[in-house]
Structure formats: structure tokens, C-alpha cells
Structure 1
């Protein structure tokens, strides 16, 4: 099959499995995609592709890590930098040393430097897999920020450790001084290069769009999609971490976006574009991973014959030791930082053994591990085969599958036992921000005495009437979002919850009625087009206005339902329409 056909097939299957996962809720989407990829390539006449690790790292990893760096909440990321750095760098070193010696003891025929290479390959967690597995499982939000921050940074530390393990295997030389010096250059050089590229793009974009406005929104969205590839390539050519360059470019671009509140069209197109890119690339990564499984796992198992259980036992033992080392590091090396962050109010959830266990099981390995394993050279400098290369790739793949399955089964069980955390801090902050925005809008409609006297009286009357109606609308939203003031009397205290509940239910009914009315409007517009009373251009323009209104209204309706305790209630609008 040609490369273009393969790419198109993988993208199509990624979209189809995304739809299927909405019906198969018991199995996470990444596992479905891996199994489908394995099923497609298992028969002798199945879909077989040549996996180029360098091309894979260039095409798929930069945009996903850029998007994660762009979206991750920077306040929590910098507030929790100590546990994140301890996991991203300290845990990688702890894993490489501890697991490397364990692998060499367990498999004496594997040289120590190769054992260190295997430990380095399996040390980084996978940001894509972690997000996909833990989504909608109720993982505490700030713990999730720590895990996301770890995944963003430990790819670089793991790949750097792999680089030096391979160099030691090829040359027989190893120097901690060289390792420390090169690691500082690769890591900080990658962050600096990516931040500089992100800043340069932001300045150029700002210069163009301040002059042209939203006219160039489509082109700017396209350039933003290409930015992570540019950051990765530049970082790689400079000899620094292209992965960290892509992450840093995403973080810097997000900071620049904070000053671009007026570019509505660009923001909407960018969000839609990145949602599609992330969905397509996530699916492609796990499908490609599945396509490699039969050849990676099947060949060693067939060669082992009746001794296949020994290889499987190695994979289980190494994977179990990997998770055990992670649990030890979380308990001894990171727990203190988490307790201090909790005491300072930076971490809402209280550290506990269940939270530590959940964080351990969330140490899922994925695409970077496979790409790193397949990037091993075939030959040593003297022309001899690289020792135990096939076994290393087999064990790395087994680790990916083991952590995926354990995380899929174990995380829901652990998270169900954790106490409910109440309203998340982010939801409470979002609610307060909505109130502040409503109050600011009300304040902006008040005319000063001098301004009121200087305008036409007829215009002033019309303005005050319109401002009164709009102020009433904003006050309804404030009543819904604000916590009710404490009642003055015991009778009022008993009555207040019912009054608040009724008011909030009434607001939900009003929003549902508005949403239903929008649906009726849209259907009427399509009926006008069917009767040839308007053309396609007019239809698209009018429907776009209603679509924007509905998107905003649906968000307000979700907030209103949560506030009224109707989260699981029947969607009457959807049912009625």
C-alpha cells in the first residue's frame, strides 16, 4: 500500500474509532485504536508499514506537545513546579539507574549499557496516553496538572538518557561530566530555542493582525499549526531538544494570546483547527502503535518457541518494577513537595496513599517509548549487531501494553474509592469570573451626569430603556452564579434554599426555551433556502450567527443546570426538537 493511502486510511480509522468509543465506554479510545491496528496488521496479507522513528517524532509528537503546552494552565504549572521537576527529571534518573541495574541482573546476557538504554526508553510517560486514559475518570484537577507537566518535560530527559546509553554502548566510554554538560545544553537550549521561536512568531503575528484585523485569521491559524514543526526542526538542527522546543513554543504562544482578546475569528478558527489536529494525530499515533505490535511481539515469541513465557515474564517483571520505582519516588521524593504545596494552597487535594497510587498507575508509556526503542542503531561501530536490540524493543513494547492495561483497569477502581472533592477550584473561579464580567458590563452602561446632559434627550430615553432590559438580563445571570447571601431570620433561613432553587430552575427553563427558539429560527432559514427565497451565501451568514448564539447559550445552560442541581436531568430541548 502506498504511503499516501496508508496515511489516509489511518486518519479515517482514527475518526471512526473516535465515534465508536462513544458507544464502547468501558474501553479507553487508545486501547481500541491499538487493538484495531494490531488486527489490521496481524494477517500475513494485512497492512504492514515501515516505521521510521525520526519521521514519526517529527510528524506526530511536536504538534501534540505544542498543543499541551499551549493549553495547560500556566498558573498551576508554575505553582507546582517543584513536584513536576522532581518527576520529570529526578524520577527519570532514579528509573534509569534503578531499573537499569535490575534489568541487567534479571537478564545477564543484556549488557549494562543496553539495560540502561531500555530503562531510559521506558522512563518517560506519554502525555497523550495519560490524558486519554484519565479523561472523565475524575482524576483531581491539580494532580492532573502535575502529571501533564511531568509528561511534557520527561520526554526530553528520557531521550537524553537514551542518547548517552547508546553512546556508551557504541564507544564503551561514559562520563558524568559530559552527561551533565550536554543535558544542560540540550534541555535549556531546547526551552530557549522554542521560547524564542514562539515569541518571534507572536510579535510577527501581532504586527500583521494589528494592521489587517481578522482578515488574515485563516492564514494565522495555519501558521500556528506549522509552528511546532518549525520549533522542533530548529531545535533538532541546533543539537538541542526539539521536543522541549515545541513545548516551550506552545507555552510562549499562549502567553502572547493573553493580549489578543479582540481577534474573535482567529481565536475560533484556531480552536477548531487544533481540536481537529489533536483528534487526528492522537488516533494516528495509537493506530500506528498497534500496526507495529504483531511484528515486534510476534517475531521474538515465535523464535522463543516453548520458552515464550520467559519473555512475557521479563516484560511483566520490568513493567511491575517500573511502576514500583515510580510509587517509591512519589512516596519518598515527591510527597514532601505535595504536602507543602497543599499547605500553601497551591494543591487543593490532600496527598494520600490513594492519590499516590492513582498517580503511580497514571504513569502510562506510549508513542515516545516505542519511537525511542526503534531508533536504536542496528550495528555497533565495529560492524557487530547492536546487542539485544530485538529483545529491548520487545520489552519496551510490552511495557507500553502493560501500563496501558493496568492504567485502564486500575485507575477507575482507585479513583472510585477517593473521597469526592466537592466543587473544583477551577469551577468556582470560573463562576466568580462570570459574575465579575457581568458586573463590569452593568457598570459600563451607567452614564455620568455630564455625559447624560450632553446627549439628545430622545436618544437618552431609548438608551436607558435598552440599558434597563440588558441590566435585568445580566442580573439574572448574577443571581444564578452568586452564592446567596445569608438570610436574616430563621424563617428566611429555612425558606432560602427553596427560593434559590426555584429561581435557578426558572432560569434553566428560560434558557431551554431560548435554545429551542434558536432551533426553530434555524429550521425556518433552511426552509427559506429550500423555497429559493434566499441564496447559499445568505443562508451561511445567517446560520453562522445562530450557531455562535447557540454555542454561547449552551455553555450558559450547562452552568445553569449545574448550579440548579440538574446535571443528570433530561435534555428537554434535545428531546423536544
Structure 2
């Protein structure tokens, strides 16, 4: 099977497993994909792919990290930079040193420098795996932001540590000063390359779209999709972190997008394109991991270590990783999280359950596998095999599998026990923003007496009628938005709990009716198309408007239902009345 056929098969299997996961909700999608990859490659005539770590990192990691950098809320990221940096830098250093010595003590035949290399390989968490496992489990948003920020930044620190551990093994030379200097150059240089390329692209895009408008939306989306690859390749060519360059390019592009509110077609096409790429590439990564699993196991079949001993090594390494992570969260991160909670930056303060969930969320994934397979085959002389390379790859792969399984099983059990916040900060902020937008729209409807049309009484009459209808609709929306929480009027806040409950029920009923009406509208539009009363283009345009309205209604409905569930039951006296 040639490369093109292999890529098509992997993408097809990624889509099929994504559909299958809808019916197998008890099993996380990454585990299904790993198992399927291992199954189809296990027979001697199965699908076998020669894994090139550099090509793997170039094709799959940059777009996914770019998307994470583009999506992650920047305000929360910078507010929580202290715990993120302590995890991304401090925890990696502690893991490399502590776990490296433990591995060397546990496996004396593995040289200390190779043990440090293995510890460096398994030290970074994986942004793709973290998002894939925790996305729909109800992880508190701020904790999720910390985990995403950690996994985006610790790739650079882990790979730099791996680079120096391998270099020390090959040459026997090591310098702490050189390590610090190299890390600063790799990290700062990678961020600078990404930011520079992102802002440069944003400037060029503004120049073009200022002339042609939204007509070039499709071409701009294509260039945005190529941007993470350009950032990664330029960073690697300059000797800095291509991974951080891709993340920083996503950051910069998202900031530039804040000034492009008028380009609706480009924004919607970009969102759809990234959703498809993330789904396809996430599936491909875990499928490729599964495809490599049989060959990695086969490489250890004739080794000096029995199977039970290898399994024990993997479990011991995973236990040490979890203990180091749990201890570091307790000692170095809990203080920052508590301070952030007291300052109002986090809804929940640190707790034992949340700390345990953050510990299990330290999932290893694609970067760990690529780092392990990037270890050279031979020493500097070109003849001597690199010591314990097969064992290093096997232990790294086992660590990926075990951390994925532990997170898949443990996180749902833990997160289910965390208390839910009925009205989180993001929901209140969103409601206030909607209120501000409605009030600004009403204010903009005031008639300017200096307009030439204002001298025509007929035009003024028509304008006032249109303004009246629009104002009524906006005031109705303001009333709905103000029915809840801080947006309520003083009279509403002074109501009895029973009156508030009845208003919440009316609000919830109106939202449900609006949603039902949207479904009726959509069915009617499709019926009109079946009757050939409208064409396909009109159908797509009208349905897109309804889809956007439905998304907004569903979000408001979720918040309203959470508020209704969290409301206390009416008192006995209220029920009697």
C-alpha cells in the first residue's frame, strides 16, 4: 500500500471510529482508535506504516496546536500564567530528574543518561489527548485552561530535555549553562517566530480584504490552514521550537481576528474547516499510535526481560509520574489556584477531587511517541547501537496507553462528584454582553434630525414604525436576558422565591417554544424545497440563519435549565398559597 492509499485509509478509519464512538459511549474515542489501529496491523499481512517522527511532527502536530492556541481564551491564559508555567517548566524539570534517577535505579542496565531521556520523553502532557479525553466530561473551564496551557508549553521543555539527554549519551558532554541558554533560545525564539508570522499574515490579510472584501474568504481560509505548517517549518529551520511557533501563530491570529467582525463568511468557513481538520487529525494520531503498537511489542519479544517485568516497569513509571504530578500540584500550584479563586479568576477553589482530576489529566500522547521514536538508532561512531533504545520506546508507549486508560476510566468518576456551578462567570458575562449589545442597538435607532430624509413626513412615519417594531423586539430580548441573575431589575430581585421560580419557568417555556418554532421553520423550508418553490442556494442561506439562531437558543436553554435545577424548592407556605 503506497503513502496516498495509507493516508486515505487512516482518514477514513478516523471518521468511521468517530461515528462508532457515538454508539459506544462507555469507551473513549482515543482508545477505540488505538485498539483498531493495533487490530488491523497485527497480522503479518496487516497494514504496516513506517513511522517517520519528523514527518509525523510536521504533518499532524502543528495544525492541532495552532487550533488550540487559536481557541484557548487569552484572558484566562494570561491570568493563570503562574500555575501554567509552574506545570510546563517546573514539573518537567522535576519529572526528568526524579523519574530519571528512579528508572536508572529500577533498571540498572539502562544508562543514567538514557533514563533521563526516557523521563524527558514522558514528561510532557499531550494537548491533543487532553482535549480528546476531557472535552465532554465537565472539567471546570479554568482548570481546563490550565491543562491546555500546560500541554501546549511543556512540549518545548520536554523535547529540549530529551535533546540534551541524547546529546549527553552520544558525546558524554553536559553543561547546565548550555542547557539554560539553549532552552531560552528555543522557547523565546519559537514564540517570536510564531508571533511574527501570525501578525505578518494578519497584516497582509487586512491589506487584501480591504480591497476585495469577503469575496476572498475561501482563499484566506486556505492560507490560514497552511499557516501552522509555515510557522513550524520556519521555526525548525531557524533552530528554535517549531511547536511553540505553531502555538504562538495561533495566538496571534486569534488576536487579529478580533478586529474582523464584519467578515462573516471567512469566520464561518474557518470554524468549519478547523472542526473537520481537528476531527480527522485527532483520529489519525491515535490510529497511527495503534498501528505502531504491534511492532513495538514485537521488538521486545526476544528481549532479556519477561513480559510481567516489562508490565511492572510501565506501571511503576506511571505511578511515579502520577505521584510527582500530584505532589507538584499540591506544593507548587495549589497556592496560585487559591489566590486566583480569591481574586475571582476561578469559580471553584482548589479541592482534593479537583487536584486528583488534574493529576489524572496528565495524559501522554503523540508527542511522547514521536519523541521516543526520534531517539537515534546508533551512537556517534555509526556502528554501536544506541543503548536500550527498544526498551525506551516500549516503556514510553506503555506509559501512553496506561495514562489514557486511567484518564478514560478515572476522570468521569471524579468529575461526576464535583459540585456543579449553576451560573458560572462565563454565562453571566455572556448575558451581560447580550444586554449591552441590545441596548446599543436600541440607542443607534434614534432618528438624527440632520438627515435629509427627516424632512419627509412619510419617510419619518415609516421609519418610526420600523423603529417601534425593532425596539419592541429588542426590549423583549432584554426582558428575557434580564430575567436571570444580575441582569434582573431591582423589583425582580425583590420577588419571593416562588415568584422567581414561576418567572424562570415562563422563561424556560418561552425558550423551548422558540426552539420548537425554529424546528418547524426548518421543516417548512425543506418542504418548500421539495415542492420546488425555492432553490438549493436559497435553502442553504435560510437554513444557515436558523442554525445560528438555534445555537444561541440552545446555549441559553442550557443555562436556564441549570438555573432552574439549582433553584431551591418552594417552601410549604408558598405551595399552599
**TM, length-normalised to structure 1:** 0.94
The equivalent position to 1:523 in structure 2, one of 514, 524, 527, is 527
Q: Measure the CA separation in 2 of the matches of 1:3 and 1:392.
A: 28
Query: How far apart are residue 476 of structure 1 and its match?
Result: 2.1
2:541 maps to which of 520, 538, 545: 545
Residue equivalent to 1:353:
352
Query: Which segment is superposed worse, 105-114 or 513-522?
Result: 513-522
Give the Cα separation in 1 of the matches to 2:284 and 2:465.
56
Which residue is equivalent to 1:561? 557
Q: Does 1:498 align with 2:502?
A: yes
Offset at residue 303 of structure 1 (A): 3.8
Going from structure 1 to structure 2, the CA distance change for 1:302 and 1:485 (only over 3 Å counts) comes to farther
The aligned residue for residue 117 of structure 1 is 117
| Aligned residue pairs, count | 560
Whether the aligned pair in 1 keeps the contact of 2:83 and 2:336 (CA below 8 Å) is yes
Name the CA distance, whole Å, in 1 between partners of 2:300 and 2:176. 34
Mapped contact 2:121–2:162 kept (Cα < 8 A): yes
- Give the match for residue 571 of structure 2: none
User: Does structure 1 residue 278 correspond to structure 2 residue 274?
Assistant: no
Q: Given that residues 199 and 252 in structure 1 are in contact (C-alpha distance below 8 angstroms), is that contact kept between their aligned partners in structure 2?
A: yes
Q: In the alignment, which residue of structure 2 is the partner of 1:480?
A: 480
| Cα offset, 1:210, TM superposition | 0.8
Structure 1 CA distance for aligned equivalents of residues 125 and 261 of structure 2: 34
8 Å contact 1:302–1:308 — kept in the other structure?
Answer: no
SS of residue matched to 1:48: coil
Partner residue, 1:328: 327
Any gaps of 5 or more consecutive residues in structure 2? Answer: 566-577
Residues 1:489 and 1:80: Cα distance change in structure 2 (over 3 Å): closer
Distance 1:475 1:102, change over 3 A: same
- Mapped contact 2:511–2:557 kept (Cα < 8 A): no
What are the superposed Cα offsets for residues 87-133 of structure 1, whole Å, 9 maximum, x if unpaired?
A: 00110001000000000000000000000000000000000110111
Which range moved further: 159-168 or 555-564?
A: 555-564
Q: Residues 199-222 of structure 1, C-alpha deviation per residue, up to 9 Å, x if partnerless?
A: 111110110011110111100000
Asked whether 1:471 is paired with 2:471, we answer yes
User: Helix, strand or coil for the counterpart of 1:22?
Assistant: helix
TM value normalised by structure 2 = 0.94
Match of 1:574 in 2: none
SS of residue matched to 1:419: coil
Q: What SS does the aligned partner of 1:565 have?
A: helix
The more displaced of 366-375 and 41-50 is 41-50
Structure 1 pair 186/490, CA: closer, same or farther in 2 (3 Å)? closer
Q: Which residue number in structure 2 is paired with residue 508 of structure 1? A: 512
**TM-aligned CA deviation for residue 456 of structure 1:** 1.8
Displacement after TM superposition at 1:429 (Å): 1.3
Within 5 Å, give how 1:221-300 maps onto structure 2.
221-300=221-300
Give the whole-Å Cα distance in 1 for the aligned partners of 2:378 and 2:275: 41
Bigger drift between 499-508 and 404-413 goes to 499-508
C-alpha distance in structure 1 between counterparts of 2:3 and 2:137, whole Å: 37
> What's 2:441 paired with?
441
Deviations 1:137-184 (A, max 9, x none): 111100000000001000111000000000000001110010000110
Greater CA drift, 432-441 or 308-317: 432-441
- CA-based RMSD of the aligned residues comes to 2.0
- Kept after mapping to 2: 8 A contact 1:315/1:395: yes
Report if aligned partners of 2:21, 2:27 keep a CA contact under 8 Å in 1. Answer: yes
* Compared CA separation, residues 364 and 45, structure 1 to 2 (3 A): same
Query: 8 Å contact 1:504–1:560 — kept in the other structure?
Result: no
Tell me which residue corresponds to 1:371.
370
Are the counterparts in 1 of residues 103 and 115 from structure 2 also a CA contact under 8 Å? yes
**1:9-28 aligned within 5 A:** 9-28=9-28
Rounded to whole Å, the distance in 1 between the matches of 2:391 and 2:370 is 15
User: Which whole-Å CA distance do the structure 2 matches of 1:45 and 1:490 have between them?
Assistant: 74
Query: In structure 2, what is the equivalent of residue 102 of structure 1?
Result: 102
CA distance in 1 between counterparts of 2:437 and 2:342 reads: 31
The 3 A distance-change label for structure 1 pair 414 and 449 is same
Cα deviation code 1:428-480 (max 9, x no counterpart): 21122112111111211121455598342112211211221222222222222
Task: Write out aligned runs for 1:418-429 (5 A).
Answer: 418-429=418-429
| Aligned CA distance change for structure 1 residues 563 and 458 (closer, same or farther; 3 Å) | farther
2:187 matched to which residue of 1? 187
Provide the C-alpha distance between the structure 1 equivalents of 2:134 and 2:13, rounded to a whole number of angstroms: 22
Q: Hey, what's the Cα distance between the residues in 2 that align with 1:504 and 1:452? A: 45
Task: Flag the 1:564–1:175 CA change in 2: closer, same or farther, 3 A.
Answer: closer
For structure 1, the residue ranges without an aligned partner over 5 or more in a row are: 570-577
Shift of residue 495, structure 1, vs aligned partner: 3.0
Q: Is the 8 A contact 1:125 1:366 kept in 2?
A: yes
Could you tell me which residue of structure 1 aligns to residue 61 of structure 2?
61
Following TM superposition, by how much is the alpha carbon of 1:417 offset from its aligned partner in structure 2, in angstroms?
Answer: 1.9
Distance 2:529 2:310 in 1: 65
* SS of equivalent residue, structure 1 residue 423: coil
Q: 508-517 vs 249-258, which deviates more?
A: 508-517
Whether the aligned pair in 2 keeps the contact of 1:486 and 1:493 (CA below 8 Å) is: no
**Aligned-residue offset at 1:330:** 0.6
Partner of 1:391: 391
Distance 1:85 1:385 in 2: 37
